[in-house]
């Protein structure tokens, strides 16, 4: 046997195939193969079949030593010798290649792992396999869907996080489309993605879940969106609702931003520019005061002195800090005192944006304090959001929500990836000892 062919066969590791020829080009390796089957019975009548002819079938396999691999399978066509048998002719199949597939199953599984587990762009994986985008995406759907649908993937959930992400940003034809991530806060994984962020979208999702599964959920953590509060009713009314700290602080941060932009505009007549005093401190304003060093404090103070003539932004900054104060303590009673103080302070302020912040806090008072009662937080959700962003970056503008959902869940949904088949054993000669 040609040594190269022998090696290629050992490397190929596809049971039931033998290598007929190997053609190595700088960028591509072509391996001609056939099955090791020598005879076959007719699947209809069982009579021993006769060889009819061969079909040449091109399949892509995993790259090898940096080269793309093309398998040329000389596929046998059999003929039933019984003239009365309806079977007539048929072509052989293989457990390694689905009928009419462009990729071997192992190449499809590996492509799914790269797109899912590693969040690689489909186009990159497609280029590596020398196939088109759709071939890879179809493989991801074929191999990935059972992994995502696996009932063992989700299991019981005690604390559910609900979090919004943008799915498709706005352009001339559409406004921003949103998706809602459902997160198991205990196990820190995304259990599902829901298209949309309206109460009705969430309610539809809840209605589709097993009531017994919903019953196990003790805590629901969301941001301060009325749609999420409304959308989880009535299915999750038994759970304790928590407004998670990250989002509570974000609402306060947004208030600071809003006041900064308005004051900026009113004093200088234009949007923030590089050298404007308020624009220069826009990030410092959002930092927790305990995280500012002396220099940061000085810069913050200077910016406010220069750019905030009526202390409106200073007021928003203090309001924001009073909201953050709520999380200085783990004690529910102390937290209630601090939150009441923040709400009262905001609602009595002269600045409209700050009063509105006070109203929002007031509406979510119970849920905000539930954080201290349950210790639940959406911290993990935000971590998961980072994963979602990674998938989005890899996808560069999804157009299909189903593909988006599949890829997010493959990446961050706690999928159990099948074990890679062990590589074929390559026998080597032991070195000869020349004594």
Binding site for Zn ion (CB under 5 A): 42, 44-45, 80, 82, 85, 87
Which residue, 5 or 40, is less far from Zn ion as judged by CB? 40
Q: What is the closest distance, in whole angstroms, from the C-beta atom of residue 40 to Zn ion in the complex?
A: 11
Which lies closer to Zn ion via its Cβ, residue 39 or residue 65? 39
**Smallest distance from Zn ion to CB 76, Å:** 16
Q: Are 74 and 32 in contact (CB under 8 A)?
A: yes
> From the CB of residue 311, how many other CB atoms can be counted at a distance below 10 Å?
15
Residue 93 Cβ vs Zn ion, minimum distance, rounded to whole Å: 17
Q: What are residue 70's DSSP bridge partners?
A: 30, 60
Q: Rounded to the nearest whole angstrom, what is the least distance from the CB of residue 74 to Zn ion in the complex? A: 23
Nearer to Zn ion (CB atom), residue 5 or residue 85: 85
* Smallest separation, CB 123 to Zn ion (Å): 46
**Neighbour-count burial for 90-120, b at 16+ CB within 10 Å, e otherwise:** bebebebbbeebbbbbbbbbbbbbbbbeebb
* Shortest reach from residue 85's CB to Zn ion, in Å: 3
Least distance in Å: CB of 16 to Zn ion? 23
* CB-nearer residue toward Zn ion: 87 or 120: 87
Query: In terms of CB distance, is 41 or 397 closer to Zn ion?
Result: 41
Please calculate the CA angle 363-368-370 and round it to the nearest 5 degrees. 120
Whichever of 22 and 42 has its CB closer to Zn ion, that residue is 42
Which CB atom, from 87 or from 132, has the smaller least distance to Zn ion?
87
In the complex, the smallest distance separating the C-beta of residue 83 from Zn ion, rounded to whole angstroms, is 10
| Residue closer to Zn ion, measured from CB, 42 or 154 | 42
CA distance linking residue 400 with residue 404, whole number of Å: 6
Residue 81 Cβ vs Zn ion, minimum distance, rounded to whole Å? 8
132-to-96, 127, 407 alpha-carbon distances in Å:
20, 7, 18
Q: How far is the CB of 75 from Zn ion (least distance, A)?
A: 19
Q: Which is nearer to Zn ion, 72 or 87 (CB)?
A: 87
Kindly tell me which of 47 and 208 has the beta carbon lying closer to Zn ion. 47
Find out whether 2 and 10 touch, Cβ atoms under 8 Å: no
Separation CA 198–CA 54 (nearest Å)? 57
Closest approach, Cβ 50 to Zn ion, in A, equals 11
For 114, the token pair is: 């790269």
CA distance 6 to 27: 21
Rank residues 40 and 87 by Cβ distance to Zn ion and give the closer one.
Answer: 87
């Amino acid at each position: 046997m040609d040594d190269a062919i022998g090696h290629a066969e050992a490397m190929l590791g596809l049971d039931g195939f033998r290598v007929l020829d190997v053609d190595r080009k700088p960028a591509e390796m072509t391996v001609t193969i056939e099955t090791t089957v020598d005879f076959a019975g007719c699947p209809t009548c069982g009579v021993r079949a006769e060889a009819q002819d061969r079909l040449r079938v091109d399949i892509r396999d995993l790259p090898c030593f940096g080269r793309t691999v093309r398998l040329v399978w000389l596929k046998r066509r059999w003929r039933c010798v019984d003239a009365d048998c309806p079977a007539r002719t048929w072509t052989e199949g293989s457990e390694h290649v689905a009928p009419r597939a462009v990729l071997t199953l192992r190449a499809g599984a590996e492509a799914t792992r790269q797109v899912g587990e590693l969040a690689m762009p489909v186009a990159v994986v497609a280029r590596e396999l020398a196939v088109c985008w759709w071939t890879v995406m179809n493989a991801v759907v074929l191999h990935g869907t059972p992994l995502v649908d696996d009932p063992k993937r989700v299991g019981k959930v005690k604390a559910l996080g609900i979090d919004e992400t943008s799915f498709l940003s706005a352009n001339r034809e559409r406004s921003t489309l949103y998706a809602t991530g459902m997160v198991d806060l205990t196990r820190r994984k995304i259990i599902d993605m829901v298209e949309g962020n309206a109460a009705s979208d969430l309610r539809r999702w809840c209605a589709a879940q097993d009531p017994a599964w919903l019953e196990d959920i003790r805590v629901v953590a969301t941001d301060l969106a009325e749609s999420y509060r409304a959308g989880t009713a009535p299915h999750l009314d038994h759970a304790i609702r928590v407004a998670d700290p990250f989002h509570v602080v974000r609402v306060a941060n947004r208030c600071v931003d809003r006041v900064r932009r308005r004051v900026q505009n009113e004093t200088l007549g234009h949007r923030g520019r590089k050298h404007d005093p308020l624009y220069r401190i826009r990030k410092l304003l959002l930092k927790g005061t305990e995280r500012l060093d002396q220099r940061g404090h000085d810069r913050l103070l200077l910016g406010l002195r220069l750019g905030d003539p009526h202390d409106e932004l200073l007021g928003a900054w203090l309001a924001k800090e009073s909201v953050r104060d709520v999380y200085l303590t783990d004690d529910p009673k102390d937290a209630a005192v601090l939150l009441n103080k923040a709400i009262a302070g905001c609602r009595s302020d002269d600045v409209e944006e700050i009063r509105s912040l006070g109203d929002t806090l007031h509406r979510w008072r119970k849920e905000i304090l539930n954080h201290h009662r349950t210790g639940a937080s959406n911290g993990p959700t935000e971590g998961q959001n980072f994963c979602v962003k990674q998938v989005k970056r890899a996808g560069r503008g999804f157009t299909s929500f189903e593909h988006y959902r599949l890829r997010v869940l493959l990446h961050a949904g706690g999928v159990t990836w099948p074990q890679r088949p062990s590589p074929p054993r390559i026998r080597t000669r032991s070195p000869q000892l020349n004594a």
